[in-house]
Amino acid sequence: MLGGREFEFRKKPTFPKILAKEFLLVDLVNDLDHLAEDREQVLARVKECALQGNRSALIRAAKEYGMVRTRKFFNGLVADTHTN
């Protein structure tokens, strides 16, 4: 409890030493269900950011740190850009 509100803190089992943009995007999608923001708007912005960055680094980050749903999201995103 802090200031009359209850907070829950969780330690991630793995965490990179350097917080790269790709890791932060993966972590955001991992925690999407815990955000107050509109899910579809967040995913649209993540997609924009992901397509502007290093796709191979993003796939590596998703593989190493992403939950199954997160890995599927980024793998599908990268696959879609290769077919277009």
65 band by pLDDT with thresholds 50, 70 and 90? very high
**Residue 36 near residue 78 (C-beta atoms within 8 A):** no
Instruction: Please tell me the pTM assigned to this model.
Output: 0.78
Read off the tokens for 4.
């009359």
For the chain, the structural domain boundaries read 21-83
Which residues, other chains included, contact 71 with Cβ-Cβ below 8 Å and sequence gap of 6+? 62, 63
**Which pLDDT score is estimated for 11?**
67
- At residue 23, what is the residue type? F
Distance separating the N- and C-terminal Cα atoms of the chain: 50
27 band by pLDDT with thresholds 50, 70 and 90? very high
